[in-house]
Every structure is written in structure tokens, then in C-alpha cells.
Amino acid sequence: MLNKICLSSCLLLVSLVFQNAGAADAEEAGRFYQAQQWPQAVTAYEAVVAEQPQDAQAQFRLATGLRHVGRFKDAGEHLALALAAGIPAQFVDIERARLAVATGQPELAVAALSSAAQAGFSNPSAITDDPAMETLSSVAGFQTSLDQMKRNAAPCEYDPVFRQFDFWVGTWEVKGSDGTFYGNNRISSEEQGCVLVERWSSATGSTGMSINYYDANTREWVQIWNGLGIQIQYRGGLQGKSMVLTGDIHYLTSGDQRDFRGTWTPMDDGVVRQFFEESTDGGETWNTWFDGYYHPVAAGKATEDGS
């Protein structure tokens, strides 16, 4: 009985020793990799994958190290193993492009970049900042692949639908039709063109803000406003040249909630009209809530009183 207990304990101890040794080998390999000590990294990762052939990261890093030490055939084989183990195809394609450059096959390298771009690779700086890729700049298809990567990284900047509300972007003085100064508003395009952020300051000193974005799922523009003790949420889109959103307004103090509609219309003189309406009868009739005219402010001009 004691011998059986000893045998079980010894086997467990040996197993733990090997697990800890494997973890230590991987950590050491990682340190060599991060320090770009490629011969040492290759030796260390060869030991790791010998014990853990399904370790996708180890296979990928081994392939990278093998490329750096000139063992190109082995590098290609371990890239295939990395892909089979679960490394996303787009990252394997980028490394294949670097391997093709190293072996003097520029067309093959660009084909790999194209494959990565089509698979969604979204880090173009990894290509433009890599001296090894400089030789590909004149190869057919290189710029197309790079452009696709840029689109992958910032799709809102390239899709015209996200620009539909850009006529509202700017720094503005907001006035009534009779010239009465209502306040200042600044609308900025942020998050690589995916969001418009509004920051309002009224003539009396109160403030508010909204975020505005195109919901690609519903194909609608959305605004969510908070400030002045109210919350507004509404949706819609272009009607002619005007942006028209409908939804509801919630008055936080009273708890009232009413139908609400906002219309932004760019005028021929560069002014934008913002016209808000609310309804207390379920949309049967609408009453003017706000009617303001946005006048562009020259860069650097401070506006506190509309002067």
C-alpha cells in the first residue's frame, strides 16, 4: 500500500517538475524573442514545440526566429504549423510576406500582403515602418493592399455614409433668427470619423453634450444628448439635404417624456439651421422647442457673448 502511495506521489511530483520546466522554457524563450536574440530564441522555442507542438504562439515565434537566422525552409514549415494550431491567417500571411522578401520573391510577398488585407489585417504601420518591406513599394498590388489595410483600420473614414452629418462639424456661434445670441457649440469628428461629439455652452453658462453616430446595423443616424436637465435619444437620417432625427425627450426633474424631433439643415451661406420640435399628443401636433442658426467661428476666435 505504501509503495502504491509512493509511486502515485512520485509520478505527480515528476509531472509537476516537467510542467514547471516547460513553463520556465517558454518564459526564457519569450525573453530571447523580445530581446531579438534570434539564435537563442530559436533554440529555446525548438525545445518548447518539441514538448508542445500545438503551442500556436511558440510555433509562430519559432518561424519568425528561423527567418531571422536564415533557415527559411524551416521557417515556412513552422508557419504552416502555427496556422494549423490557431494563429489567425492574416498574421501568418504577414510573416509569409516577410519570408518572401527575405528569399527574394517580391511578387509572392505582395500576394501574401493582399491575402492579409482581405482577411482584415488592420495595422498598416507594421508594413510602412518595416524596412524589409521598402523593396515592395514599386511592386504591383502593394499600394492596393496597403490601402485596404488602412480601410480596415479606419472604416468610418472611408465610407461616405459616415460623412453625411459632417456639415455640422465645426465651431459655431448659435443665434436666433433675430440675431439673439444663444450660445457656443463645438462639434468634432472623433474616433477616426466614427463619432461626432457635441459640446454646448449656452449664453447663461449651462452646458450639455451629445454623441452622434451612424448605426450600421439599422442604417440610421443616432444622437444621444445629456445636459440642461434633459436626456434626448432619437434616430433618423438624411431627408433631402437635412438630417432629421425623431425620438423622445425626457425631463429629469419632472419625469415627463415627450416625442421629439430635430432637423439640421445646411444653408447656402455656410450657416446651419437647427430646428427642434416636441409633441405632447403622440405626434399629432408639433410645437417649436428651439430654433437656432449656427454661424461658423473663425479659428482661434473666442465667443462668450456672441460679439
pLDDT in tens, 1-10: 444 444 444 4
Q: If residue 19 lies in a helix (H) or strand (E), which one and from where to where?
A: helix 2-34
Q: What is the pLDDT of residue 235?
A: 98
Q: Which residue has the cell 524596412?
A: 131
Q: What is the pLDDT of residue 1?
A: 47
Q: What is the pLDDT of residue 7?
A: 43
Does residue 198 sit in helix, strand or coil?
strand
* Set of cell numbers at residue 278: 416636441
Q: What is the pLDDT of residue 298?
A: 82
Q: If residue 20 lies in a helix (H) or strand (E), which one and from where to where?
A: helix 2-34
DSSP per position, 51-112: H-TT-HHHHHHHHHHHHHTT-HHHHHHHHHHHHHHT--HHHHHHHHHHHHHHTT-HHHHHHH
Strand partners of residue 189? 196
Mean pLDDT across 49-68? 97
Percent of the chain residues past pLDDT 70, beyond the cut: 89
Q: What is the pLDDT of residue 144?
A: 97
Q: How many CA atoms lie within 13 A of 291 on its CB side?
A: 6
* Set of cell numbers at residue 288: 417649436
* Set of cell numbers at residue 224: 444621444
Q: If residue 145 lies in a helix (H) or strand (E), which one and from where to where?
A: helix 142-153
pLDDT category of residue 23 using cuts at 50, 70 and 90: low
Q: What is the pLDDT of residue 132?
A: 86
The structural domains of the chain, ordered by start, are 20-158 (1.25.40.10), 161-296 (2.40.128.20)
Above 70 in pLDDT, residue 20? no
The pLDDT mean for the chain works out to 91
pTM of the model: 0.75
Rg (CA), the chain: 30
Q: What is the pLDDT of residue 103?
A: 97
Query: Is the Cβ–Cβ distance between 214 and 221 less than 8 Å?
Result: yes
